[in-house]
């Protein structure tokens, strides 16, 4: 009898723990959703202005449309050399896009974005007269790359073709912050 009561106590603890965890998990048959209100918001012009003094290349502040939210700005250095400044955005429909600006080579930026492998080339795309080279990343996400005034720009993420075009135009036309060096 004592063993049975002990087993029931253990079972009750497991059920209560599972019940507590289920509040933080949901079933979404159409895929994951993003609650944008719970994500951080970043002031992109302020963050890029803060990074500019230590940058060897000018930074562009993309003027994204109303409703887009910036949630991250950071700097990295690909293993092959150079530097990259990344800015992450969420579109109003919950898709994520990232703009990278850098002085690293196209191959270095692609390898870093594709997780060490090389992305498959898909051809050229014209966006308002600016030529971008499209690649298919390992995660199935598009990667677009171009050079503007000696700075390499890369756009990637889960956005639609229209989202990519919007961010590409916003980046090319963005306000330029002079480098510090």
Residue 115 pLDDT exceeds 80: no
According to the CATH classification, is domain 40-177 in 3.40.1000? yes
Lowest mean pLDDT segment, chosen from 13-17, 52-56, 60-64:
13-17
Residue 101 pLDDT exceeds 60: yes
Q: Which is higher by pLDDT, 29 or 55?
A: 55
Rounded CA-CA distance 23/118 in Å is: 40
All structural domains of the chain with their residue ranges: 40-177
Q: For the whole model, what pTM was predicted?
A: 0.77
Q: pLDDT for 61-77, tens place per residue?
A: 999 999 999 999 999 99
């Amino acid at each position: 009898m004592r063993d049975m009561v002990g087993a029931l106590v253990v079972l009750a603890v497991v059920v209560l723990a599972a019940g507590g965890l289920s509040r933080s998990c949901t079933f979404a048959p159409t895929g994951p959703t993003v609650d944008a209100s719970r994500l951080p918001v970043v002031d992109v012009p302020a963050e890029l202005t803060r990074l500019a003094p230590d940058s060897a290349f000018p930074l562009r502040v993309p003027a994204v449309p109303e409703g887009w939210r910036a949630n991250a700005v950071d700097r990295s250095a690909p293993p092959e050399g150079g530097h990259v400044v990344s800015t992450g955005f969420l579109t109003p429909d919950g898709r994520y896009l990232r703009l990278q600006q850098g002085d690293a080579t196209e191959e270095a930026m692609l390898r870093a974005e594709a997780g060490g492998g090389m992305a498959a080339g898909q051809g050229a795309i014209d966006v308002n007269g600016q030529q971008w080279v499209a690649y298919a990343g390992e995660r199935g996400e598009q990667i677009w790359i171009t050079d503007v005034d000696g700075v390499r720009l890369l756009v990637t993420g889960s956005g639609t073709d229209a989202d990519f075009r919007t961010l590409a135009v916003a980046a090319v036309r963005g306000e330029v912050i002079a480098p510090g060096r």
